């Protein structure tokens, strides 16, 4: 699975260990037999019926819910803060360019 997910492109040994731990946590007997849910969001069907699995896949939210990855619910705040800071920096760069253009002396 690690090669299928990332195509064997992980160069950092720490990242590879994290990926392996994540895969071992998801793909184990209790999870695959439906005795343990993959997360708080995705219960694994206990039947062998493909329709049950398709129904499970359709229940997966379109947006990345932090709990789906075992992250705390407030992790979105960090992402929003990072993105906001990035936008502010870009706006400051645009403002600096505009000020320079206004100073052009004919």
User: Domain boundaries in the chain?
Assistant: 74-106
Cα torsion angle, 66, 70, 73, 74, sign: negative
pLDDT at residue 88 greater than cutoff 90: yes
pTM above 0.85, yes or no: no
Do 41 and 57 touch, CB atoms closer than 8 A? no
Q: Using 50, 70 and 90 to split pLDDT, how confident is the model at 84?
A: very high
Do 56 and 43 touch, CB atoms closer than 8 A? yes
Q: What is the mean pLDDT of residues 74-86?
A: 88
Dist. CA 31–CA 33, nearest whole Å: 5
Dist. CA 22–CA 57, nearest whole Å: 19
pLDDT at 28: 81
What tens digit of pLDDT does each residue of 8-55 get? Answer: 677 888 888 888 888 887 778 887 776 777 766 677 777 778 998 898
SS3 72: coil
């Amino acid at each position: 699975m690690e090669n299928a997910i990332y195509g064997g492109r992980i160069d950092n040994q720490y990242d590879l260990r994290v990926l392996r731990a994540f895969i071992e946590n998801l793909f184990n007997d209790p999870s695959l037999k439906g005795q343990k849910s993959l997360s708080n969001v995705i219960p694994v069907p206990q039947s062998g019926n493909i329709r049950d699995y398709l129904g499970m896949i359709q229940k997966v939210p379109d947006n990345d819910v932090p709990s789906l990855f075992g992250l705390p619910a407030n992790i979105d705040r960090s992402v929003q803060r990072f993105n906001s800071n990035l936008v502010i920096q870009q706006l400051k760069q645009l403002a600096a360019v505009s000020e320079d253009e206004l100073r052009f002396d004919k």
